[in-house]
Amino acid sequence: MASKAWLGAVLQTVREGSAVAVQTLLADLRAEGHIIPAAEAGMIDDVERDADSEIDAEIELGDEDDARLEAWDEATGTPEVAASVRGNDSIESDTSLVVAAGYQIIVDGDVCRLHLPVWAGFESRTELGQRILDELENRFVVLERIARWLSEARKQFLVSADPWHLGCDAFKELRSGLVSVSPQSFLEMTGIGKLAKPEAFSRYTRDCFLVWPDATAPLAVLFDTRARQAWVGNVIKQLADAQGRTLSAADLDQLRGVTKPRTKSQKQDLQLASVDSLSFSEVLIRAASIANVGLSEVLVQYGKRIIIRTNE
């Protein structure tokens, strides 16, 4: 019988380990008879059905393999897609990333998909095997849901690999109280929180990469400092657009002097007030506070994007 410590270590590997680490674990579980490749399981099932052939003679047996497991058995390959346009703020290719050892979300134009490893198609033969495969399946489902959300809600980011486009709905999100560049808010707004709590989500997304034809980035890029700064920058631009204001460099210089509330009661009042009741500068302070970035840093990083109107 497996000890709690051993089981805990195994589950930790499934939840946060790289693809290579999980593959090694599954090989060990297979050797111990806890799991079996789906293809072999199908052959065993065929033998068992042949033993009862007299009963099932008139039944047409189709492929009983789980469709999800079949998807895991798809051959690997590099998608044939056109190179995306890269701007100055785009994610740069980092050849030091050990992408091959991690899980990959492959970007193809304005959509993306989780690449499910060839080796992941297993069926359980013991209770322990089932528990491990259930945990692995949950991790894959979470990563697939992230890919689906990106394909539906962040198409321009997928095309450009530019963090600026992660804030395309920033002002709308600010008014709703949910922030897509904050992991906890992201879980709530996407419904993924029903599958994984914040701690599990953090583990599931480790060693997972977004892969473009000419760039790679860890999945954490969706929530890092640049993403959060871009989100606040978009709040500024989108709020100005909504109010019909054209911001100049001088306007941004003035915004750099905006200070945060000093007293606890002032901070609470700012957070509890409706966005529509706040002044322009108060909205920006609130946005920067929620995103946990400095407003001056946002203006330095994305000031030109806020001022210059482009066809984005």
pLDDT of residue 213: 93
pLDDT of residue 116: 86
Instruction: Tell me which residue of 150, 148, 139 sits closest to 207, measured CA to CA.
Output: 139
pLDDT of residue 90: 67
C-beta separation of 160 from 86 below 8 A: yes
pLDDT of residue 187: 97
Helix axis angle for 4-16 and 127-153, nearest 10°, is: 20
pLDDT of residue 101: 72
DSSP 165-198: GGGTTHHHHHHHT--TTSHHHHHHHHSGGGT--H
pLDDT of residue 195: 93
Q: In which residue are the tokens 């963090």 written?
A: 163
3-state helix, strand, coil split of the chain in percent (to 5) is 60, 10, 30
* 135-186: pLDDT as tens digits: 999 999 999 999 999 999 999 999 999 999 999 999 999 999 889 999 999 9
| pTM for this model (two decimals) | 0.78
> How far is it between the farthest Cα atoms of the chain?
86
Listed as ranges, residues in the chain with pLDDT below 70 are 1-2, 41-100, 308-312
pLDDT of residue 260: 77
